[in-house]
Structure 1
C-alpha cells in the first residue's frame, strides 16, 4: 500500500475502545500509512496524543432505554452522525474504515458502506458487543480477539479473522521485564485498579481485606491503588491504620510499567486489561464489572481463568474476608503466582497488532488475509 493512502479508524471515547485503535495507529504509522480517527464527543477526554493525522468528532448516542422517546432521540443523533461522517469520508477518501466497537463507530461505518469503502470491525471481547452486532452483517470483514466469540455465527462467522487484541507499544516495552515471584521474606507488590466503578468497589473492599492479613504479611506489602478523587483520603487513612505502605492516586500515567512491576494485579476484566495482563504475563484476581451488557467482562475473565492465568471472582462473591483468604494463600504460595504468570503469558498475543495491521492493509487492497480463518 502506498503511504499516500490513509486508513480511518473509528472508536468510542472509552479506553477499552481507544487503546486497541491507538495500538493499530502506531503500527500503521510505522509502516508509513497515514491514520485518521473518527470518534464521538467523549474523545476529548482520551484522545490527547493519539497518533493520527486528524481527529474528527461526529455526533453519536447510546440507546439508554427502549422507550419511544429515547429510541427516536438516539436514531436522530446517529443519523446526524452518519451525515457528518459521510461528509468527512468524502473529503479524506480513506482506503478502509476500521471500527473498534461502541455506538460511536456506527455512523462512520454506515457512512463508509454508503460510499463503497471497505469496512471492518474489531471485537475486543469474548462476546460480540451490541453495536458490533448491528454492524456485523454490514461490514466487509470482522477481526476477533478470541477463537470463540459469543453471538458471532453464520455468515458473520465466515468473514471473521482471528487477530487478537492489540496493545500499545508502551505495553510491549513493559512486557520485556520478566516476572519474578515474591520471595519468602521480600516485599509483595500489589496493583489495584479498575476504572471509576471498579475503583469505588476496590476502595471499599481491598483495605479491609489487607487489614485482615497477618502482621508479617502486611508489613511486606507495597500497594499501588487507583481510587476516585473523593475516596483517596479515606483509602490512604485505612492503609495507614493497617500499617500498609500504599501509593493512592486517581490516575497513573505509567500504569503499564506498574503492571510489569506487580507480583499480583487486582482489577476488572475489560478487554484491554486482559490483553495487557496476558502480553506481560502477570497473574491477577479479576472481578468482572457486574451488570455489564452481555456479561462481556465475565466472559473475558472466565477465559483467562480457564487458561490458569487468573482467578475470576464475581463481585457478589468477593467479601473482604474472602479476598483476604485468597491473598494469603497466594502470597504464601509464590510458585502458584509464577505458574499463573506463565499461563497468562502463554495466553497473550503480542503479535496481535501486526496481525491486525496486516488484516487492515489486506482489506484496503482487496486481498485475502487470515490467521486461522480466511477472509
Structure 2
C-alpha cells in the first residue's frame, strides 16, 4: 500500500466537515488509494476512519472579530499553519488535496497550490462558505452537494460538479429503510434535533407547542428530542406532566437510524442534516440558524422546501402556536407526510461519495 496514490483530505474539526471527508476516504480506499487527514486539534475528539497515524494536525484559527488584535491573531495562526502544511506536503507527496470547508482548510489548500499539487474543494451548503469562497478561484475543481450554488458566477460554475454530500455507512443503511406513513390513530414518531451542540430554541419552543396540542394527540406521540444538559430538567418536567412518551438526551450516536424511524423531524438545517433528510427521505420542519452572514441554513432548507419535502420556518416565526398548528395538521394528514417523504428523497444522492471519488481521480490524474 505504500506505493499506492495518496490523497490528502483537509477538513475543519467538526462533524459537518469530517463526516463527508470520512465518507470520501472510505470510497478512495476501496479503490486502492491511501488517505490522510489534515485538520485542527478539535478532530481528536472524533473516532472513525482516521486513526492517529493517518492525521496531521495543522494550526489554524477562525476569524472571530474585526479588531486589529483578532485579525492579527488569525493571520499569525494561519501563517503558522501554512508553514506546517508545507512541511507535511513535502514529506507526504500527495497526488491531490481535497478540502471540505472551514478555516483549517486554508493552510493545506494554499500550500498545495504553492507546490503545484492538484486541489479540489467540496461545498456542502447551498451558499458557499467563507473559507471556500477564498479558495474557489485558486483550486483546480469544485464539487457541490446541491445544484445551483455557483450559478451566479459563470467562471466558477465552469469548474464545478454537483456530486452530492458523501454519506457515512450509517446513513446509507438508514436510507434503505422505507417510510411507513403513520396510521390516523397510531403512534406518531417525532424527532427533534438542533445540530451537533443542540439548540436552546428547541427546548424553549417544542415543549409548550406539545402542550398546545389536543390531548388525544399526546397519547399518540413518541418523541425523541436532543436537549442540552442545562435544559433537561425543565423539558422533562413538561413531558412528564403531560405523560408524553419522550426520550431525551444531549446527543444521539445513532442519529441516522433515528431519522429513519421518524415520521417527522424538527431540526436546524445545517448542510449535513439537509443532506441526510434527503438521502433517507423524511418529512421535516426546518428552523434555520438565524444571524449567519451568508444565511446558508436558510438556503439549505429552501432546497427541501422547494422539493415539497420540508416546511421552512424562520426562527422569529417559530412559536409554540405555529409549531403546534403544523404538527396537528400533519398528524391529521398521513398522505401529506408520505408526499413530503417522497419529495425529500428526490433531493438525496446516495452515490455522492463515489461521484466525488470519480472527480478526485480525474483531478489527480490517477
Aligned ranges 1:226-265 → 2 under 5 Å: 226-265=226-265
- DSSP 3-state at the match of 2:346: helix
Change in Cα spacing, 1:337 to 1:123, as seen in structure 2 (3 Å) is same
> Counterparts of 2:154 and 2:339 in 1: how far apart (Å)?
38
Deviation at residue 150 of structure 1 after TM alignment? 5.2
Instruction: Give the distance between the partners of 2:166 and 2:338, measured in 1 at CA.
Output: 24
Structure 2 distance, partners of 1:109, 1:51, is: 19
Label 1:42 to 1:152 Cα distance change in 2 as closer, same or farther (>3 A). Answer: farther
Paired position in structure 2 for 1:146: 146
Whole-angstrom distance in 1 between the partners of 2:89 and 2:269? 34
Distance 2:74 2:88 in 1: 21
CA contact (8 A) 1:198 1:289 kept: no
Superposed structure 1 runs of 4+ greater than 2 Å apart: 50-53, 195-199
**Structure 1 unpaired stretches of 5+:** 367-375
Which residue of structure 2 aligns with residue 225 of structure 1?
225
TM-score of the two chains, using structure 2 as the length reference: 0.96
2: CA distance, partners of 1:135 / 1:40: 18
Aligned to 1:301: 301
For residues 283-328 of structure 1, the C-alpha deviation after alignment (integer angstroms, 9 at most, x for no partner) is 1001000012300000000111011011100111010011000000
Alignment of 1:50-89 (within 5 A): 50-51=49-50, 54-89=54-89
Q: What is the Cα deviation at residue 154 of structure 1?
A: 3.5
Distance, in Å, in 2 between the alignment partners of 1:232 and 1:308 is 33
Distance change >3 Å, CA 64–CA 151, structure 1 → 2: farther
Match of 2:129 in 1: 129
Alignment partners' CA distance in 1, 2:27 and 2:162: 18
Give, in whole Å, the separation in 2 of the partners of 1:30 and 1:224.
35
- Aligned partners of 1:148, 1:110: CA distance in 2, in Å? 26
Deviation at 1:2, TM superposition (A): 9.8
Separation in structure 1 between the aligned mates of residue 197 and residue 313 of structure 2, nearest angstrom: 16
- Asked if 2 retains the 8 angstrom alpha-carbon contact of 1:128 and 1:151, the reply is no
Q: CA RMSD in A?
A: 1.6
Q: CA deviation at 1:82?
A: 0.6
Alignment of 1:158-173 (within 5 A): 158-173=158-173
CA change 1:2–1:334 in 2 (3 A) is farther
How much has 1:215 moved relative to structure 2?
1.0
CA distance in 1, matches of 2:207, 2:167: 30
Give me the whole-angstrom Cα distance separating, in 2, the residues matched to 1:204 and 1:242.
16
Distance 1:268 1:3 in 2: 44
Cα separation, partners in 2 of 1:26 and 1:51, compared to 1, 3 Å? farther
Show the 5 A alignment for 1:329-368. Answer: 329-365=329-365
Superposed CA offset, 1:84-130 (max 9, x none): 01111111111100000010100010011111110010000110111
* Structure 1 residue 49 corresponds to structure 2 residue 17: no
Query: For the residues of structure 2 that align with 1:71 and 1:139, how far apart are their CA atoms?
Result: 24
2:12 maps to which residue? 12
Kindly report which structure 2 residues correspond to 1:5-44, keeping only aligned pairs within 5 A, or say none: 5-44=5-44
Q: Deviations over 1:109-164 (max 9, x none)?
A: 00111111100100001101111110011111111122211586132221111111
Aligned residue number for residue 370 of structure 1: none
Match of 1:323 in 2: 323
Aligned length: 365
- Conserved 8 A contact 1:3-1:34: no
From the superposition, tell whether residues 300 and 339 of structure 1 become closer, same or farther in structure 2 (CA, over 3 Å): same
- Is 1:284–1:310's contact at 8 Å kept on the other side of the alignment? yes
Contact 1:209 1:324 in 2 (8 A): yes
Give the conservation status (yes or no) of the 8 Å contact 1:3–1:32.
Answer: no
1:178-228 Cα deviation digits (max 9, x unpaired): 001110111110101012665211011101101111111111101111111
